[in-house]
Structure 1
Amino acid sequence: MDQRIINLFDEYTHAPLTRKEFMDRLLKLTGGTALALAALSVLEPGYAAAATVAPTADDLETEEVTWPGDGAAVKGYLVHPKGRKQRGAVVVIHENRGLTPHIKDVTRRVAQAGYLALGVDALSPLGGTPADEDKGRELIGQLDKTKNLNNYLAALTYLRARPDCNGRTGAVGFCWGGAMANQLGVHDPKLDAAVAYYGAQPAAEDVPKIKSAVMLHYGGLDQRVNAGIPAYETALKAAGTKYELYVYEGVNHAFNNDSSPARYNAEAAKLAWERTLRLFKEKLG
């Protein structure tokens, strides 16, 4: 697919670009309605086809849970392997559309690797994740940043208090969630591992606060997010933080999202996931 189309879609999903503006520009790039619709079919999510772990997988237990947040209850999708035992726990942080079926699938993948996995619905204070992704992006922009961060910190507190948690915790986030994974590293000194996929970097002056191991995954074509890499890496080195940074050349932002075929890269996603699980095994048990 023409990289200009992928860049336009990235702008649409991250900037205040209306659906009409996006479609008008897409029509100009493709030259016609039929081609524009064909492009949309591989850009926009196809959740059912992309699911890799069935919601009813025999080896997993799932439940809807809540915990007290900053001014409101927060809801989450909790998944773990069958059989009660203490496990490392992982907060799974969604993209800027909320707790979508794709992120629930990722949560199940984490659980299937042997962890207590919690997909947090950041939009809980605003009624929860809507089916309409445009509405989800709109609601994300309405979240109070401080309260939202506190809600994620409370999610880690909730997990550590569970009898089936071994006390070790990690976080993995994607895009908007990648930025939050970085922030959890900054603000939670008990966090053992923070994994950020193509997420905005924290301020350089905050990096010395990070006590967790950090793993960073970036798509080589993602100029918008990658602009912040040099300053972040310099700060990580200066602080002596244990980190791993990987740039997957020739792939786009959201390369892990297999519900969006135009941006998904199976090879990069597989390698990044193997590296992520290796870090979790080292740090969470």
Structure 2
Amino acid sequence: MKNQPIDPQLYALYDEYCHSAMSRREFLNKAAKLTIAGGSAIVMAQALLPNYAHGHTISFTDSRIKPSYVEYPSVGGNSGKMRGYLVAPAGEGPFPAVLVIHENRGLNPYIEDVARALAVDGFLALAPDGLYPAGGYPGNDDDGKIMQRALDQDKLFKDMLNSAYFLKSHALSTGKLGATGFCFGGAVVNRLATDMGADLLAGVPYYGRAAKTEDVANIQAELMIQYAEQDPRVNAMRAEYEQALTQHKKKFAMHVYPDTQHGFHNFSTPRHNQTQADIAWQRTISFFKRTLAK
């Protein structure tokens, strides 16, 4: 199914499902009513759901990394405590640090794999689980999406902000901090840039909501902003964000990846575009190596 084109109607419906209260049953029922060419709508819809059998590219036993789960205080967050997946490169350190922020469904296997990939390239990576105050990622994205929507969103951001400072001050960190995130996580990276000032050196948001225009003047981090070509909900904010960043003379680059959908970096669904995801990730690693090595 990954090699079979997905009808654009299904991509649009799946995007709505991911970013609304729509249940999996409702998504599949709506998909079944679509008339599409070249295959079964319901089969295509089922294929779009994440398959975490393909949820990792780097094993948690890889000798190049040292992964662990850590708990830490989060004053002002949803419960006062947080838990995250901390992955260090093999070796003594210290290392430049990168916060990895999940999509709108908690710390799933895909995001843990992103943290491992960063550690392989020499970064101390922390992927916080925003669902920890509600019991943690439940093992499936459907329940995770519902749980995350139910959280106090301001306190959820505070949990991510506290995670950033925990990582920055970690004994294995050089104190040079970057952040990357996907969808919800991309929006959080943009907001961290407005809120953290010089404490955040670099940010790579993937297809996330832009920072508030009135807050762009506060950004001191250098940004590399990644967009999918076919992502009307997020891309509608791009021009205004670019204008504000330019007006305030911020250091940034924007990349739009051809033939991609929202979520193209996530290799667990057919939205994944291997070629463009590899280009985006190579740019991400090169960017962090440059900005966090100062």
Q: Does 1:79 align with 2:79?
A: no
State which of 235, 245, 262 in structure 2 corresponds to 1:236. Answer: 245
Q: Does 1:53 align with 2:68?
A: no
Of stretches 44-53 and 162-171 in structure 1, the one that deviates more from structure 2 is 44-53
Question: What is the Cα deviation at residue 50 of structure 1?
Answer: 4.2
Secondary structure of the residue aligned to 1:110 is helix
Q: Does 1:108 align with 2:116?
A: yes
State which of 10, 13, 29 in structure 2 corresponds to 1:5. Answer: 10
Q: Map residues 139-154 of structure 1 onto 2, 5 A cutoff.
A: 139-154=147-162
Question: What is the Cα deviation at residue 36 of structure 1?
Answer: 4.1
Mapped to 1, the partners of 2:292 and 2:190 lie a distance apart of 18
Question: What is the Cα deviation at residue 47 of structure 1?
Answer: 1.5
Of stretches 185-194 and 149-158 in structure 1, the one that deviates more from structure 2 is 149-158
State which of 58, 71, 87 in structure 2 corresponds to 1:66. Answer: 71
State which of 228, 235, 238 in structure 2 corresponds to 1:226. Answer: 235
Q: Map residues 12-31 of structure 1 onto 2, 5 A cutoff.
A: 12-29=17-34
Q: Contact conserved, 2:55 with 2:109, CA < 8 A, in 1?
A: no
Question: What is the Cα deviation at residue 19 of structure 1?
Answer: 2.6
Mapped to 1, the partners of 2:126 and 2:85 lie a distance apart of 6
Question: What is the Cα deviation at residue 41 of structure 1?
Answer: 4.3
Mapped to 2, the partners of 1:120 and 1:40 lie a distance apart of 30
Mapped to 2, the partners of 1:164 and 1:19 lie a distance apart of 41
Structure 1: segments with no counterpart, 5+ residues: none
What is aligned with 1:259?
268
State which of 284, 287, 292 in structure 2 corresponds to 1:276. Answer: 284
RMSD in angstroms over aligned alpha carbons? 1.6
Q: Contact conserved, 2:226 with 2:254, CA < 8 A, in 1?
A: yes
State which of 180, 192, 200 in structure 2 corresponds to 1:184. Answer: 192
What is aligned with 2:215?
206
Mapped to 2, the partners of 1:17 and 1:10 lie a distance apart of 10
TM-score normalised according to structure 1 size? 0.95
Deviations 1:136-195 (A, max 9, x none): 111111222222222112112211222211110000000010000111111111100111
Question: What is the Cα deviation at residue 209 of structure 1?
Answer: 0.7
Secondary structure of the residue aligned to 1:249 is strand
Large movers: runs of 4+ above 4 Å = none
Deviations 1:210-243 (A, max 9, x none): 1100111111110111000011001000111100
Mapped to 2, the partners of 1:255 and 1:16 lie a distance apart of 22
Secondary structure of the residue aligned to 1:245 is strand
Mapped to 2, the partners of 1:12 and 1:199 lie a distance apart of 17
Question: In the comparison of the two structures, how many residue pairs are matched?
Answer: 283
Question: What is the Cα deviation at residue 20 of structure 1?
Answer: 3.0
Secondary structure of the residue aligned to 1:68 is strand
Deviations 1:109-138 (A, max 9, x none): 011110000011011111111113211111
Structure 2: segments with no counterpart, 5+ residues: 1-5
Secondary structure of the residue aligned to 1:25 is helix
Q: Does 1:245 align with 2:254?
A: yes
Secondary structure of the residue aligned to 2:261 is coil
Match for 2:57: what amino acid? T
Of stretches 155-164 and 240-249 in structure 1, the one that deviates more from structure 2 is 155-164
Mapped to 2, the partners of 1:102 and 1:64 lie a distance apart of 16
Match for 2:235: what amino acid? N
What is aligned with 2:134?
126
Secondary structure of the residue aligned to 2:214 is helix
Identity value in percent: 39
Mapped to 2, the partners of 1:58 and 1:30 lie a distance apart of 49
Question: What is the Cα deviation at residue 80 of structure 1?
Answer: 1.1
Q: Contact conserved, 2:28 with 2:42, CA < 8 A, in 1?
A: no
Mapped to 2, the partners of 1:50 and 1:141 lie a distance apart of 23
Mapped to 1, the partners of 2:156 and 2:46 lie a distance apart of 32
State which of 223, 226, 233 in structure 2 corresponds to 1:217. Answer: 226
Q: Contact conserved, 2:230 with 2:259, CA < 8 A, in 1?
A: yes
TM-score normalised according to structure 2 size? 0.92
Mapped to 1, the partners of 2:281 and 2:213 lie a distance apart of 27
